Chains A and B, each alone.
Chain A
Amino acid sequence: MTEQIPFAAVEFAANPEPRCACVLLLDTSASMSGARISELQEGLSVLKAELSQDLLARKRVELAIVSFGGSVRMLSEFTTVDQFEPPILHADGLTPLGAAVTTGLELVRNRKRVYRQNGIACYRPWVFLLTDGEPSDVWQPAAASVRHAETAREAAFFAVGVGEANLDVLGQLSVRQPLMLRGLQFRQMFQWLSTSLKSVSHSGVSDELALHNPTAPDGWAKL
């Protein structure tokens, strides 16, 4: 049999660094419109800018962006930071949170498979959920998937609520304690995310996450 060459090979030949996949699940339902969506948009640029400054992180961290407002949409496929362009967000529709979480977990699972096919080492992927409302779909199966992924160390799941987000639901979705964003401190949140991703992508691959506490008095989150 003549072996086929997967197209991805070139990207991993050019850059064989271990990868840290990170999916951002961003709530873009109608309730996010106005200041929230524009601050969030700004936050994405901050994330890129901060990660770009780190020579190793920019080759190792891969970002993908999924929005859920009305429907679940893939806004940006996995790409290393140096190639990443923040997509433009539009707030509209309901909050299909459950479907978004399932999509996010699916994405990291597929991405890990691509890594494995290409002999690329990887760090535990991150799924980072941000929402300001109540799920408008059935989210319980998604919660089960999150628990499974966490137990199998397939992904680390983080949930952050904004404004009137239902912390109860987030608490049941996430194995980790969900956090509430203070005001609209998206910028600070993404700075924290970038610092965390940087330290993950520098530490040993399996190091337990030793992150700055975002709920410190000067942090961006509250419990």
Chain B
Amino acid sequence: MILYSGDGKPVELGKVLGRGGEGVVHVRVGNESQACKVYAKPPTDARTAKLTWMVERLGQHPDLAVWCTWPQELLFDEQQQCVGFLMERLQQLRPIHEVYQPEQRKSVLPTAGWDFLLRAAANCARMFETLHKYDVIVGDVNERNIFVDSDATVHLVDCDSFQIRDGDQFFGTGVGVVDYTPPEMQGKDFRLVPRTVEHDRFGLAVIAFKLLMMGRHPFSGGASGDLHQAILNKEWDYPQLAQRLRHLLPWSVVGQPVRAAFVSAFTEEQRPSAATWVERLATFEATLQPCRREPLHKVPAGLGNCPWCTIEQVSGYAYFSRPQTIWQSQWQGPDALLAPLDAELQALPSPRQPEEWQAPQGMEAAIATARAMLQAERPPDLISWYLALGGGLVAVGGVTMALFHPSRGVVVAGAGVMALFASRWLSARRQVPWHQVTLEIDKQINEMREIEVEWKGEALRFRDQDRRLRAWLADMRVQVVAVGAQRQREIDKLAGDQVSEALRAGLLRFDLATASIPNVPVEKKRALAIRGVLTAADLDRAKLATIPGLAEAQVDALIAWRRGMEAQLTGSRAQGPSSAQLAAIDSNFHHLRDNLLAELRGGLGTLRDSGHLADSRMAELMAQGRQAALALQERVEAVRRAYMEH
């Protein structure tokens, strides 16, 4: 829906933030920090005049809107009819009753001590002081109009009900709540009797009292139990009540000036002003110190014993959390923890496969050259060849000579034959080293082949180790992830989300089919029955999680119903797990998961080391191969030089 501001600018209404008796509050589309209050019925002329006055006054005194959702601009519909106004949108604030009520405060503001509550009271007074400065009266003071931020600042809503007087103009409030109404206004018609600043001061004092005195209404405890009667008759007897009820904060703990302000606010008609409250509360807050045992126990300086510790001892109730029980689960899913490890694992390459073998540079060439040389004919031996040639010629010459000089010829021929034999002998003798040369070269080639075999063997071994390490890491990872589920099971067990064995027999008697469980219609019950969920004894979260089409709210409703049945069986309601128990579970599982993660990290280290080892071993073998190839090359060269180049 679109409305228009006074100068005709469109204002689009967004989602509904709240509904009240008077109308609906929407967020403003396009400006999330603003909200629009739209009245269910068009406001009366008087209301419109009041809003107009408020918007104009804001222009003169912008500080009015600092702690209030003061109307900032009027909103009109198409017919120029005023239908609401623009204001600041409050976010993340808590109604003051959640702050002054001890049990709720402990859960919503677990770190707030008494000093926080005093500060909130003083801030409340500061807010009233600002409004009273401009003759604005809150009128309808109550615990639903006041909101507290986590820094103890305080905000007021429902500002259109403020009472405003400006010269002849008077805009009333018309409503009120008995609890915050002073004696002189009790039973009066709020529409007829104008409020005064004194009335506001009474309401402010009640709010401050509730903040300081652990949520108690100052007049709570009157004989009739009726607040109207108690306020009307000024039955203000907290000091006596606190003597009788040992779980109440002793009156004497409150600083004397603050006590005096309360007494005067509740028993006189001239009440302390907002400014007085600001001054006295701030002065008192400055005297607070933590007690020796508990940091959240704030005690006025000079007090012997810590009153909060005493109350805990005598009544068994702790008004403030202990730091170790201030517990908000820090448990996180494993994803963030595993992501860097996963990335690291991914980045680690596996060692090379045997098939990836590549011969070292020059090796194959050296082998080929050597083989070629070995396969070639043995090179002829020139010395013995020349000797044989010479011997042959001499022998032929000697035979020829013997035709003329037989004696000389025989000698020469004999010498030639001798030389021939000598050449045979020499040739045979020179054959032996060559043979050895070929054997040695063969050996060198084989050694080089062995390097390849060894490389492939090592590759296989490292691959295998790598595979096993990675499988182990994957298993650890599964275990790390599973810790979350284990922790949840443990918590569920504590929270009674599982059926307790002791009660199982009793729970079997409660038939799901005839039970009436909100949000669980008959068809759902049939679907449950088909899967064997028939009685209260069958309802645990783990089991329900396996049933398709069951909404979370339905699971909750079923569990709540079962717990109701358990309460009937035992006559008492199981207490939920305490934050200490939950913290213990978290701590245990954090510990377990940390151990697993440490192992996982260790495993990654091993994997990395093994990879490095593989790399260096392979490189070493390659270097050996290259060396061997070089040696072979040199050998072949030497042989060639020795045998071929004559």
Query: Is residue B229 contacting chain A, with contact meaning CB distance below 8 A?
Result: yes
Asked if B177 and A5 make an inter-chain contact with CB atoms under 8 angstroms apart, the answer reads no
Q: How far is the CA of A13 from the CA of B103 in the complex (A)?
A: 8
Contact among B514, B518, B568 for A38, CB-based, below 8 A: B514
* Stretch from A14-22, A128-136, A143-151, A174-182 at the B interface: A14-22
Residue of A nearest to B566 (CB): A85
Given the known A-B contacts A5-B314, A14-B102, A88-B568, are A120 and B179 also in contact in the complex, defined by CB atoms under 8 Å? no
Query: Is residue B247 contacting chain A, with contact meaning CB distance below 8 A?
Result: yes
Given the known A-B contacts A204-B181, A207-B178, are A119 and B221 also in contact in the complex, defined by CB atoms under 8 Å? yes
Size bracket, chain A contacts: 35 or more
Query: Is residue B451 contacting chain A, with contact meaning CB distance below 8 A?
Result: no
Asked if A16 and B214 make an inter-chain contact with CB atoms under 8 angstroms apart, the answer reads yes
Q: Which residues of B contact A13 (CB under 8 A)?
A: 102, 214, 247-248, 311, 315, 317, 319
Q: Which residues of B contact A56 (CB under 8 A)?
A: 97, 143-144
Q: Which residues of B contact A39 (CB under 8 A)?
A: 516
Query: Is residue A78 contacting chain B, with contact meaning CB distance below 8 A?
Result: no
Given the known A-B contacts A15-B103, A86-B564, A116-B225, are A10 and B247 also in contact in the complex, defined by CB atoms under 8 Å? yes
Main secondary structure on B side of the interface with A: loop
Asked if B226 and A121 make an inter-chain contact with CB atoms under 8 angstroms apart, the answer reads yes
Task: List CB contacts (< 8 Å) of A1-32 with chain B.
Answer: 3, 5, 9-10, 12-18
Residue of B nearest to A116 (CB): B225
Query: Is residue A41 contacting chain B, with contact meaning CB distance below 8 A?
Result: yes
Given the known A-B contacts A56-B143, A205-B227, are A88 and B510 also in contact in the complex, defined by CB atoms under 8 Å? yes
Q: How far is the CA of A207 from the CA of B226 in the complex (A)?
A: 10
Q: How far is the CA of A205 from the CA of B103 in the complex (A)?
A: 23
Query: Is residue A184 contacting chain B, with contact meaning CB distance below 8 A?
Result: no
Q: How far is the CA of A118 from the CA of B214 in the complex (A)?
A: 14
Contact among A42, A45, A87 for B568, CB-based, below 8 A: A87
Closest Cβ–Cβ distance, residue B98 to chain A (whole Å): 7
Q: Which residues of B contact A61 (CB under 8 A)?
A: none
Asked if B247 and A12 make an inter-chain contact with CB atoms under 8 angstroms apart, the answer reads yes
Size bracket, chain B contacts: 35 or more
Asked if B177 and A120 make an inter-chain contact with CB atoms under 8 angstroms apart, the answer reads no
Residue of B nearest to A205 (CB): B227
Task: List CB contacts (< 8 Å) of A110-138 with chain B.
Answer: 112, 115-116, 118-122
Query: Is residue B95 contacting chain A, with contact meaning CB distance below 8 A?
Result: yes
Task: List CB contacts (< 8 Å) of B158-202 with chain A.
Answer: 176-179, 181
Q: Which residues of B contact A55 (CB under 8 A)?
A: 95, 97-98
Task: List CB contacts (< 8 Å) of A63-82 with chain B.
Answer: 75
Q: Which residues of A contact B640 (CB under 8 A)?
A: none
Can you list, as one digit per residue, whether each of A189-208 has a CB less than 8 Å from chain B (1) or not (0)?
Answer: 00000000000001111110
Q: Which residues of A contact B531 (CB under 8 A)?
A: none
Given the known A-B contacts A119-B241, A206-B226, are A9 and B221 also in contact in the complex, defined by CB atoms under 8 Å? no
Asked if B317 and A120 make an inter-chain contact with CB atoms under 8 angstroms apart, the answer reads no
Residue of B nearest to A10 (CB): B317
Query: Is residue A99 contacting chain B, with contact meaning CB distance below 8 A?
Result: no
Asked if A116 and B223 make an inter-chain contact with CB atoms under 8 angstroms apart, the answer reads yes
Query: Is residue B430 contacting chain A, with contact meaning CB distance below 8 A?
Result: no
Query: Is residue B565 contacting chain A, with contact meaning CB distance below 8 A?
Result: yes
Asked if A16 and B101 make an inter-chain contact with CB atoms under 8 angstroms apart, the answer reads yes
Asked if A202 and B216 make an inter-chain contact with CB atoms under 8 angstroms apart, the answer reads no
Q: Which residues of B contact A162 (CB under 8 A)?
A: none
Q: Which residues of A contact B181 (CB under 8 A)?
A: 204
Query: Is residue B368 contacting chain A, with contact meaning CB distance below 8 A?
Result: no
Most buried by B among A13, A42, A87, A116: A13
Q: How far is the CA of A17 from the CA of B225 in the complex (A)?
A: 12
Asked if A83 and B246 make an inter-chain contact with CB atoms under 8 angstroms apart, the answer reads no
Q: How far is the CA of A112 from the CA of B563 in the complex (A)?
A: 29
Residue of A nearest to B98 (CB): A55
Query: Is residue B409 contacting chain A, with contact meaning CB distance below 8 A?
Result: no
Closest Cβ–Cβ distance, residue A48 to chain B (whole Å): 9
Closest Cβ–Cβ distance, residue A136 to chain B (whole Å): 25
Q: Which residues of B contact A14 (CB under 8 A)?
A: 102-103, 317
Residue of A nearest to B95 (CB): A55
Q: Which residues of A contact B241 (CB under 8 A)?
A: 119
Asked if A83 and B217 make an inter-chain contact with CB atoms under 8 angstroms apart, the answer reads no
Residue of A nearest to B572 (CB): A77
Asked if B517 and A45 make an inter-chain contact with CB atoms under 8 angstroms apart, the answer reads yes
Given the known A-B contacts A18-B220, A119-B220, are A112 and B225 also in contact in the complex, defined by CB atoms under 8 Å? yes
Q: Which residues of B contact A49 (CB under 8 A)?
A: 518
Asked if A9 and B317 make an inter-chain contact with CB atoms under 8 angstroms apart, the answer reads yes
Residue of B nearest to A87 (CB): B568
Asked if A9 and B227 make an inter-chain contact with CB atoms under 8 angstroms apart, the answer reads no
Asked if A18 and B227 make an inter-chain contact with CB atoms under 8 angstroms apart, the answer reads yes
Interface residues of A (CB under 8 A from B): 3, 5, 9-10, 12-18, 38-39, 41-42, 45-46, 49, 55-56, 59, 75, 83, 85-88, 112, 115-116, 118-122, 202-207
Q: 6 more A-B contacts (CB under 8 A) besides A9-B317, A17-B97? A: A5-B247, A18-B227, A41-B516, A88-B568, A116-B223, A121-B217
- Could you name 16 residue pairs across A and B whose Cβ atoms are closer than 8 Å? A3-B246, A9-B315, A10-B316, A13-B214, A13-B319, A15-B103, A17-B101, A42-B516, A59-B97, A83-B573, A85-B567, A119-B244, A121-B226, A121-B230, A204-B228, A206-B178
